Amino acid sequence: MPTSYKDQFYTIDPGNPPASGTAVSFTRQTFTDANDDGLIQPNVGDTFEGTQVTSVWQNDSVTINVPGVGNVTYTGTTFYLAGGLPAVFTPTDGQVLQNGTFVSSTYVTSSTQMPVANTGPTCFTPGTMIHTPDGDRLIEGLKVGDLVNTADHGAQPIRYILRGTFRAAGDVAPIRFSAGSIGNDAPLTVSPQHRMLITGWQAEMFFGVDEVLVAAKHLVNGDTIRQVTGGMVEYIHLVFDQHELVFGQGVPSESFFPGHVRDMEDQAARDELLMLFPDAADLTTEDMQTARCVLRGRDAQILQGHPHLLQ
């Protein structure tokens, strides 16, 4: 099954660069691993925005003069595309592209392949479609005051948005759900501590409740649900008046819960939230309760041992 990813790109060919001083801007675009083998390869059906990739040049570099920063050198991969479309470059060195002017470039002379893990996964992360009264909307396009559909309380206004970009490594590396792995209608990428809603007989049989919230990291099965490292990841948390269940890529999961910050029994969640979002400490509320029962790691191992229960 094809898997699509969204990442940051310059429209530039390091092997045939523009003149020094040319303005360069980055965009977020989609590329697709057609056979889901974890590699972007030339002439096998892998695509960039629907156009076949014909060459993959790993370890090219581009130096950009960024206003207020100076010269920044990015090392990454260049894709050549079918039909003579302009080449595109994406960093694989963990940096975030910035707008600026072209300075110089270097390029390799052998086309190879690129592991998708080398890129910055999307990530809730940008590219996630959130259900709202006006239809599904990209999470990165939402703003404070916008209404979002919730499972329990209808349409609710966003009170605060936490977002930040981080290196996708170690405990911060995101969890990626392939399409259909948890009922999602498209690939979904969330932070390790982001809790997904497990419902129905699975929850009743094993945990004695109709519905239960489980941290994404406890659902990893090494196949359809896996942790993705490499590059950068942007995390976005939506804050409401109370803990809500919202719908991302068609499946319910939690909104940001300020109580994590003070919940000492959930030290891992607390550490992650304060590391990623120091401002979260100011959002704590003494009377907010979780929208559903929360499953702890030991109990969640049952689901890891029975991945079919998530279908």
Distance between CA atoms of 237 and 39, rounded to whole angstroms?
Answer: 30
Question: Is the Cα dihedral 82, 87, 91, 96 positive or negative?
Answer: negative
Residue 275: give its domain's CATH number: 2.170.16.10
Q: Are 193 and 82 members of one domain?
A: no
pLDDT at 278: 57
Residue 123 lies in a domain: no
Residue at a domain's end among 118, 147, 181: 118
Sort strands 195-199 and 211-215 into parallel, antiparallel or unpaired: antiparallel
Q: Are 85 and 158 members of one domain?
A: no
Count structural domains, the chain. 2
Q: What is the DSSP letter of 294?
A: B
Q: Are 71 and 145 members of one domain?
A: no
Q: Are 63 and 144 members of one domain?
A: no
Residue 57 lies in a domain: yes
Residue spans of the chain under pLDDT 50 = 120-123, 260-266, 285-286, 307-309, 311
Q: Are 14 and 142 members of one domain?
A: no
Residue 98 lies in a domain: yes
Instruction: Look at residues 307, 280, 305 and name the one whose alpha carbon lies nearest to residue 224.
Output: 307
- The torsion region of residue 250 among left (phi > 0), alpha (psi -120 to 50) and beta comes to left
Domain that holds residue 26: 3-118
Distance between CA atoms of 170 and 186, rounded to whole angstroms?
Answer: 25
pLDDT at 97: 78
Residue at a domain's end among 54, 87, 118: 118
Residue 245 lies in a domain: yes
pLDDT at 206: 56
Q: Are 279 and 181 members of one domain?
A: yes
Residue 21 lies in a domain: yes
Instruction: Look at residues 187, 181, 180 and name the one whose alpha carbon lies nearest to residue 123.
Output: 187
Q: Are 164 and 299 members of one domain?
A: yes
Question: Considering the entire predicted model, what is its pTM?
Answer: 0.52
Q: Are 137 and 107 members of one domain?
A: no
Residue 59 lies in a domain: yes
Q: Are 177 and 197 members of one domain?
A: yes
Q: Are 103 and 191 members of one domain?
A: no
Residue at a domain's end among 61, 91, 118: 118
Q: Are 109 and 135 members of one domain?
A: no
Q: Are 167 and 31 members of one domain?
A: no
Residue 124 lies in a domain: no
Residue 263 lies in a domain: yes
